[in-house]
Amino acid sequence: MSNIKKGKWKGYLLLLAGLPCIWSACNKGFDYVKAPVNLEDSIGNDGRPPKIIYLIVDGARGEAVRDAYVPNITTLTDNALYCWNTLTDSLNTQASSWADMLTGVSKTKHGVVSDDYNGNHLDQYPSIFKYVKAAYPTYRITAYTASAGLSEKLLTGADEKKVLNNDDAVTTSVVNELKQDSVGLIMGQFHAVETAGVQAGFDISRAAYKQAIEHFDKQVGDIITAMQTRKNFKNERWLVVIASSKGGKYPIDPAKDDKTIFSDPALNTFTIYYSPNYRLNYIDRPFGGTRFAGKSVRLFGRDADAVNATVPNTTGVDDYNFGDTTSFTVEMKVKVNPGPNGDYYFTYPSILGKRASFDGGVTGWVMFLESRYWMINFGKTGRGNIQAKGADISDGTWHSIAATIYRRDGRRYTKTFTDGKPGEEKDITDHGDINTTAPLTMGFLPGSVNQAADVNIADVHIWRTPLDENTIKSNACTIGIPDDHPYINYLIGYWPCTDGSGSIFRDNGQLAHDFEIHAPGAYTWDAFSTLICPPASSFLEVLVPSGRDIPQQIFSWLRILPNEAWQLDGHVWVPSLITTK
């Protein structure tokens, strides 16, 4: 087995693995820059010729490569910006992934959506090799691949391209090219890991898959050794890009499924940008939400068949009446389950409220579902209903929802919050006194509703004060009430609703008014382990490198300023450096 120059990589990785962190803390010292920008390379314009090795490996799940602890790839990370949780395109199509990695644009532009390349727009969005040759006509570009389709469609502009029989032949060609003084940009594509994954399964618990990763690591070692033993190596500027084009389907532990795109093994890839001048720049898997585990009762059904819960009329009814001037806040965690039609489209079922029914004009308030959203509604005899809209929570995951009722300039308002983000504000002054003798109720309320809710509710808080927006945002993804909560003295009701057994939701607040669970039939306390407040996938995707970023990184290394007409989608990632010499 080839051995690259060894670094103290084990100590770094153990340290990083032991540090719980979020994006802003773990990635100081580097960031991405959206083109077009001034791409003067940060290593410095010192006259050393820029050289690039670009290795694409198919079917190598990033987390599998990480857990395999293969020596050559892992040692590179000591001087690299790298991530084991990068993402391929959601299509998970081989040709589409290659197209992203070689054109720098997404499928909506390059049009490669199937492995037959039908309907592509590669004439408009060609390989980056074409742009490199246009900028530097004498710069040598070579490409070696085991795929005829990739060679024909995506390697336009290479001085030399060869379709070879297997990955070992690709390795030999790359190594031989590295012996040439004129070497510039070398690309090699490897497919054996993908083949092993299809046959055995995409996880290192399968011997054939792990062995394929280990063999690719040996090939990387041979290539890096050939680079480092060049007679002019120290007088050249080398960038090595190693990236997987796609992952592969494999069952994962449900406890590790955060319901984000990062939990899809088929999309899980890795990216390494190595240079001898780079420090260790580790990009962790982005924050996907707060871990939330326990046991919960599903509240569903309607009328006589409803499973719901109430604070009895004999206890504390007036404690949750707020008249026409008192300010208050209601917060909870809620998971909406699919309705009877198998979708998340609901028509007005109650989640939590204090009113006798959900008929129009009945005095009181209720938080409920409408379509794919949640809302809070206020009723008043003779004055109808008024409501403020929350956000879409129809994805089967836990969300934090809150409503504040407050006074401003002599008027009374309500405002919604979802996962800490503010929603609609409504003036409810004209509804006046909302007091009612109806019990506080979780789940079904009778009335002119068209459908029953199907939800799990937990971590319910009622405050006799309006919480400010920063406090709601700061605690939206927190479970429970922190001891230093700034409004702790105003907490009048706190029901975790994760008791795990029995027929009540115990109130841990100062009033100790328990909810009694009503169920005409049997109900269960169902165990769960999940995440709340998951960020949107579109937000998460930009927090890790993607295949579309690699062309931009190559342009940056070569000091090629992309033309806006190229319409590139990628970003340049700027690492921290050992030296600027």
Q: Is the same domain home to 354 and 451? A: yes
Check residue 262 and give its pLDDT.
Answer: 85
Q: Tell me whether residue 492 is in a domain.
A: yes
Under DSSP, is residue 9 helix (H, G, I), strand (E, B) or coil?
A: helix
The reply to whether 409 and 371 lie within a common domain is: yes
49 with 236: CB under 8 angstroms?
yes
407 shares a domain with 268: no
CATH code at position 83: 3.40.720.10
Q: Is residue 14 part of a domain?
A: no
As averages over each run of 10 residues, the pLDDT of the chain (581 residues) reads 36 29 34 37 64 98 96 96 92 93 96 94 95 95 92 93 96 98 97 97 96 98 98 96 95 75 91 96 80 89 89 74 94 90 82 90 92 93 90 89 97 96 96 92 81 90 96 91 92 95 92 90 84 66 90 96 93 82 44
Same domain, 554 and 405: no
Q: Does 335 share its domain with 233?
A: no
- 159: in domain: yes
Domain count, the chain: 2
**Looking at the DSSP assignment, which residues form a beta bridge with residue 274?**
80, 240
Contact at 8 Å (CB) between 117 and 95?
yes
Decide: 68 and 204 in contact? Cβ < 8 Å.
yes
CATH of the domain at 455: 2.60.120.200
- Considering the domain architecture, whether residues 247 and 307 belong to the same structural domain is answered as no
Predicted local distance difference test score (pLDDT) of residue 315:
61
Residue 162: closest CA among 140, 147, 176: 147
> What pLDDT score does 232 carry?
93
Predicted local distance difference test score (pLDDT) of residue 450: 60
> In this structure, are 440 and 297 located in the same domain?
yes
Domain boundary among 498, 513, 532: 532
Residue 5 belongs to a domain: no
Residue-level pLDDT at 289: 65
**Are 197 and 334 part of one and the same domain?**
no
Q: Are residues 492 and 558 in the same domain?
A: no
Asked if residue 208 and residue 78 are part of one domain, the reply reads yes
Residue 418 within a domain: yes
Evaluate whether residue 6 is within a structural domain: no
Q: Is-contact 481 461, C-beta < 8 A?
A: yes
Residue 25 lies in a domain: no
Residues 99 and 198 in one domain: yes
State the pLDDT at residue 4. Answer: 42
- Residue 231 to residues 3, 177, 346, Cα–Cα distance (Å): 18, 14, 70
Q: Give the rounded distance of the alpha carbon of 351 from its chain centre.
A: 28
Quote the domain boundaries for residue 396. Answer: 291-532
Q: Do residues 361 and 409 share a domain?
A: yes
- Is residue 23 a part of any domain in this protein? no
Contact 274, 94 (CB under 8 A): no
pTM, two decimals, is: 0.64
Residue 100, CA distances (Å) to 40, 154, 396, 534, 569 in order = 24, 10, 31, 26, 9
Instruction: Quote the pLDDT of residue 578.
Output: 83
